[in-house]
Amino acid sequence: MKLLKSLYITNRFFSACIGLVLLFVVFFILDFAPGPLKILFFLFLAIVFTDALLLFRTRKGMDGGRMVAEKLSNGDENKVTIYLESFYPFNISLRVFEEIPHQFQRRDVEFKLSVKPGEKKHLDYTLRPVKRGEYSFGAVNVLVASPLGLLRRRFRFDQDKMVPVYPSYIQMRKYELLAISQNLQNSGIKRIRKIGHNQEFELIKEYVMGDDFRTVNWKATARKSKLMVNQYQDERSQQVYSLIDKSRVMQMPFAEMSLLDYAINASLVISNIAIKKSDKAGLVTFQEKINTLLPASRKNNQMAVIQENLYRQKTAFLESDYSALYVGLRKALSQRSLLLLFTNFESVYALQRQLPYLISLANQHLLVVIFFENTELAKLIDEPSTDLRQVYHQAIAERLAFEKKLIVKELQKFGIHSILTSPQKLTINTINKYLELKARNLI
């Protein structure tokens, strides 16, 4: 940093020297120039001096800065606001250059505007990070010009600000509010309306359109002289674990994000939903061995612990070892739990290599295997064919897409639940499956 500052001072010194040399040359030439040219030159110098006086006579001409969240949400549009306030007694024009983190590879965050005396301005833009980690903002550079417009004065605000990028807490909050307000079904997320049926009902309420006739309480109906139904309570305190495969099969990108980051975002959301539904949420990450094993809990700080663990996940995208996963879970989990396994299989052969361990897990727990559609194959299949080569490519693409459906059938043969989803629908489909399993009393 000291080196950069010294370079800036040196550059300014050389600029001043060059200016003095040019000024000396101009005066030398003017000695041989006619009188009117000398008058014009001194008039120009007077205007420049006036412009400089207008810009620099106000010691604190501008105030400003950057308003950004303490942490950014991965994969979401995050709002950033630049605020500016003018202390000049006249109208000024501004050019604002924002130094955003290098991870975005953008140099187009620039604004041009006019500001009246004492006026405050707010400039908004959005950033969409696609990787977790630390993002460093530079300075907010403001170039101020007076009505004369010959010179510009530079101001710099909020230099060197570091902001971490966490798994998508924006999605987490969105679905959390829906879960609290019981509006999941109204948002097209919950596929079935049926409330969980255990042996005890939570309350007796008046029948409304859509209630199950099988829950009618005839004794209460006779007493009230109107149709009354039992509302059954969900089974609670069940353990829900998100198992995240961090091997090379999760390295494939979609919309600039890896499948691993999509799985991490979905795990954060489903863990929060599970806790709001009075279940216990836990986390397991693995590749060649188990890297993280966070016991399921619904303590007040459990979501903060899960979020920190997900934020710190790193991987070398090695080959996954499902035998190590099975052994580790068998030792750690004594209670039957819901296991949401986020992974990816591209062929039936890849599944069959791991199938014995998946079957063993399914015998002890309720296992849901969640893997991804290849959206690029879907685009290729939908494109119209123009030549024989494209027909051949589409035939291969259809064969590979069919392999995914065969994987679903293969898992169903052994009673293993599965979700085949595109990355952008991963969170919604995972929530749907969780609510469906609770409604069917499988957990």
For each successive 10 residues of the chain (443 residues), what is the average pLDDT? 39 58 64 69 83 91 95 96 96 96 92 95 96 95 93 91 95 78 54 48 74 80 84 73 97 93 97 92 97 95 96 94 96 94 95 96 97 89 86 89 95 96 94 88 78
Predicted pLDDT of residue 152: 93
Which residues, 6 or more positions from 183, have their beta carbon under 8 angstroms from its beta carbon? none
Could you state, in order of their start, the residue ranges of all structural domains in the chain?
55-166, 169-174+235-439, 201-232
Closest CA to 402 of 422, 385, 377, 432: 377
Classify each residue of 146-185 as buried b or exposed e, where b means 16 or more C-beta atoms within 10 Å of its C-beta.
Answer: beeeebebebebbeebebebbbbbbbbeebbebbeeeebe
Crossing angle for the helix pair 259-276 and 426-439, to the nearest 10 degrees: 40
What CATH superfamily classification does 169-174+235-439 receive?
A: von Willebrand factor, type A domain (3.40.50.410)
Q: How many CB atoms lie within 10 A of CB 72?
A: 24
Distance CA 212, CA 201 (A): 14
Question: Hey, is 219 helix, strand or coil?
Answer: helix
Which residues, 6 or more positions from 426, have their beta carbon under 8 angstroms from its beta carbon? 262, 263, 265, 266, 370, 372
Predicted pLDDT of residue 202: 62
CA 244, 245, 250, 251 dihedral sign is: positive
Identity of the amino acid at 329: L
Closest CA to 371 of 404, 338, 416, 409: 404
Predicted pLDDT of residue 182: 54
Strand order in the sheet with 110-115: 110-115, 92-98, 140-145, 152-157
Predicted pLDDT of residue 383: 86
CATH T-level topology, domain 55-166: Immunoglobulin-like (2.60.40)
Strand partners, 418: 369
At 31, list the tokens: 């000695």
Predicted pLDDT of residue 185: 53
Predicted pLDDT of residue 33: 62
Closest CA to 320 of 281, 351, 360: 351
pTM for the full predicted model: 0.81
Predicted pLDDT of residue 118: 92
Predicted pLDDT of residue 2: 41
Residue with tokens 């040196």: 10
Distance CA 351, CA 353 (A): 5
> Of all helices (H) and strands (E), which one includes residue 377?
helix 375-382
